[in-house]
Amino acid sequence: MTVMADIEHPADSGPLTVQDLEGMPDNGRRCELIDGVLVVTPAPGRRHQAIVVRLWRVLEVECPPQFDVLVAPFAVHSGDKIELQPDVLVGRDEDFTEKDLPAPPVLAVEVLSPSTAIHDLNTKKAIYERLGTHSYWVIDPAEPALTVFELDVDGNYQQVAKAAGDEVFEAERPFPVRIVPRELLGRLG
């Protein structure tokens, strides 16, 4: 598998900050900042976006009023050296600002694509774990499959579920919701 994400860290410039991202051109690429290192990924494809939109719909229908469900691009900040844009996120309503989520989401979801898979399964998973994001879901459109990670008592992610194809995943956190991976593909499945 080839990782096509560009990691940019200009020589002798020091770590970038969240403020540095505000001056970046809006060229359709997703810019994230991980410990001061800029990670740029290409715009997602049709299948990826179809899954994101369908998952948002499923979550939004069941979402209680104390939470909100949003899709990228919407920034999750932690300090001035981290800005992530999960494909789908659930956060506590009280934690959001108009511009960003300056607190850990209660759920972060990434849909794998060839250009982001290694990054999503390793780097971003580790950052969400470090931030204390209780649930991290990874959707593989190829199977299709949903893998669910939750923080254990020591603050480490453990895989707690995997549903593929027509299997049903009954989430309890952050709120009860039923997910069938194949249904997220819609007519593309």
CA distance 54 to 139: 12
pLDDT band at 4 (very low <50, low <70, confident <90, very high): very low
Contact 107, 160 (CB under 8 A): no
Position with higher pLDDT, 185 vs 20: 185
Of 9-13, 14-18, 125-129, minimum mean pLDDT range: 9-13
Contact 138, 149 (CB under 8 A): yes
Bond prior to 73 in cis (omega within 30° of 0): yes
Position with higher pLDDT, 151 vs 1: 151
User: What was the pLDDT predicted at 1?
Assistant: 35
- Average pLDDT value over all residues in the chain: 90
Mean of pLDDT values over 71-76: 92
Position with higher pLDDT, 6 vs 169: 169
What lies within 8 Å, CB to CB, of 37 at 6+ separation is 7, 8, 9, 15, 16
Contact 85, 74 (CB under 8 A): yes
User: What was the pLDDT predicted at 24?
Assistant: 75
CA distance 71 to 52: 7
Strand, helix or coil at 103?
A: coil
Strand partners, 139: 111, 146
Contact 68, 89 (CB under 8 A): no
Calculate what percentage of the chain has a pLDDT beyond 90.
69
Mean of pLDDT values over 9-31: 73
What lies within 8 Å, CB to CB, of 119 at 6+ separation is 3, 5, 39, 41
Mean of pLDDT values over 65-73: 96
Which domains are delineated in the chain?
44-188 (3.90.1570.10)
Residue 79, pLDDT above cutoff 60: yes
Of 4-8, 18-22, 184-188, minimum mean pLDDT range: 4-8
